[in-house]
Structure 1
Amino acid sequence: MYAVLSVTDKTGIVEFGAGLRKLGASLVATSGTAGLLRDAGMDAAVIGDLSGVPEMMGGRVRAFHPSVFGGLLYRRGNASDEAEAHQHGIPRIDVLACNFKDLVADDGIAGALDSIDIGGPAMLRAAAKNFPSVLPVVDPADYGEVLRALGAAGGEVAAVDPAFRRSLAAKAFGRTCAYDRSIQRILDTTGDRE
């Protein structure tokens, strides 16, 4: 089991990572989150270790790889998906913790464009789409409940209460929707400040 952690709000992420490790998860994180986990004494690979492709273009490209998105999206128990995952060495990602801040128009359009998170919302949407098999966690306030639910389910996402999994997915899609609205507001209101 892999858990991918990519968070701007790092509240509780060390404790969450430690709890996931106790449940047998291998931690994979974006560089800043991985550094924090390592500083706390945990093994944490960076996403490039999982995909075999380093971060590129100033961090703009790091998560877009079949090893990440395939691991989030493949349907567990689907013979074709399982065979392709095995054939291509795609890991089973069971938990995605991902959050990001709404954008503000302080730096005009150019600054806003540089700050737009593409990979985080895309990973979150992928995990939420596959909520029967993946826990998409967008709110640090949910970390404790996720750990309790996973622990009670013996670390098996499919054994976690379906209503809880669905509620995490709904919250994740709500967050990506709000994030897109923050981008729209900036593009609508920054005028000529390019």
Structure 2
Amino acid sequence: MTDKTGITELGAGLSRLGLRLVATSGTAALLRESGLDATVVGDLSGVPELMGGRVRAFHPSVFGGLLYRRGHPADEADVRRHGVPRIDVLVCNFRDLPPDDTSEGVLDSIDVGGPAMVRAAAKNHADVLAVVDPADYGAVLDALTAAGGRVGATDPGFRRRLAVKAFVRTAAYDRSVHRFLARLAESRPGRPRP
């Protein structure tokens, strides 16, 4: 998560509603510093962060938790059989790549897992809230509070609006990656490195 504005307040609100907090190591540390109980995503999946943090959330426990359709018999059977945890709210944001930077070091800052999780949550917005903007945290807490902490009891239109915003955000992010790679290719013509 790039922008941690309001994350401890959101975490506190979600905790009060009975939701378990799971985060990457940096965000989990921030939540813990605020006195909240937060599990590191690697503890959820059983796989630690790898390759300097490049691989964190790519695991069936995470994507299964985001994509499984509540009440769908085959999905429910898979969840039980494989111990896939339920993920009801995904909070994830990321910044566009710098518009004028063509240094190859920017490649390391390309977020792969975040946009993939956002897409998964937004695809399954009937059962999962995809939250990409700190400006929405208050509305998310209000909606969940009114629904007794149950995502499926929140207004379907609200869930769809969050999903639309999530896909708009990932599309903008992908455009920024495209612009960066195109500028890099223009500034360093030649064959791609192996």
Aligned pairs for 1:64-83 (under 5 A) are 64-83=58-77
Deviation (angstroms), 1:104: 1.1
SS for the counterpart of 2:88 is strand
The alignment's TM-score, normalised by the length of structure 2, stands at 0.94
Q: Would you say the 8 A contact 2:122–2:130 is kept in 1?
A: yes
Q: Which residue of 2 aligns with 1:12?
A: 6
Shift of residue 188, structure 1, vs aligned partner:
1.4
Instruction: Quote the offset at 1:108 in angstroms.
Output: 2.5
Residue in structure 1 matched with residue 19 of structure 2 by the alignment: 25
Give, in whole Å, the separation in 1 of the partners of 2:183 and 2:16: 47
Q: Per the alignment, in what secondary structure is the counterpart of residue 81 of structure 1?
A: helix
**Deviation string, structure 1 residues 55-107 (Cα, Å, up to 9, x no partner):** 00111111000000000000000010001011100011000000000001565
SS, match of residue 96 in structure 1: strand
SS in 2 for 1:136: strand
Distance 1:150 1:43 in 2: 19
Instruction: Count matched residues.
Output: 188
Name the Cα RMSD after superposition.
1.2
TM-score, scaled to structure 1: 0.94
The residue number in structure 2 matching 1:161 is 155
Indicate conservation of the 8 Å contact 1:109/1:193, yes or no.
no
1:121 aligns with: 115
Structure 2 match to 1:46: 40
Q: Counterpart amino acid of 1:76?
A: R
> Does the 8 Å CA contact 1:128/1:170 hold for their aligned counterparts?
yes
Q: Determine the structure 1 residue equivalent to 2:187.
A: 192
Instruction: For residue 160 of structure 1, report the CA deviation from its aligned partner.
Output: 0.3
Q: Of Structure 1 and Structure 2, which has the larger fraction of its residues in strand? A: 1
* Residues 99 and 176, structure 2, Cα contact 8 Å, conserved in 1: no
Contact 1:109–1:187 under 8 Å retained in 2: no
List structure 1 runs of 4+ shifted beyond 2 angstroms: 105-109, 190-194
Rate the CA distance shift 1:157–1:107 in 2: closer, same or farther, 3 A. Answer: same
- 1:77 aligned partner, one-letter code: G
Output the CA distance in 2 between the equivalents of 1:150 and 1:193.
50
Q: Distance in 2 between matches of 1:104 and 1:111?
A: 11
Distance in 2 (alpha carbons) for counterparts of 1:105 and 1:148: 36
> CA deviation digits over 1:31-55, x for unaligned, max 9?
1111110100111011000000000
Unpaired segments ≥5 residues, structure 2: 190-194
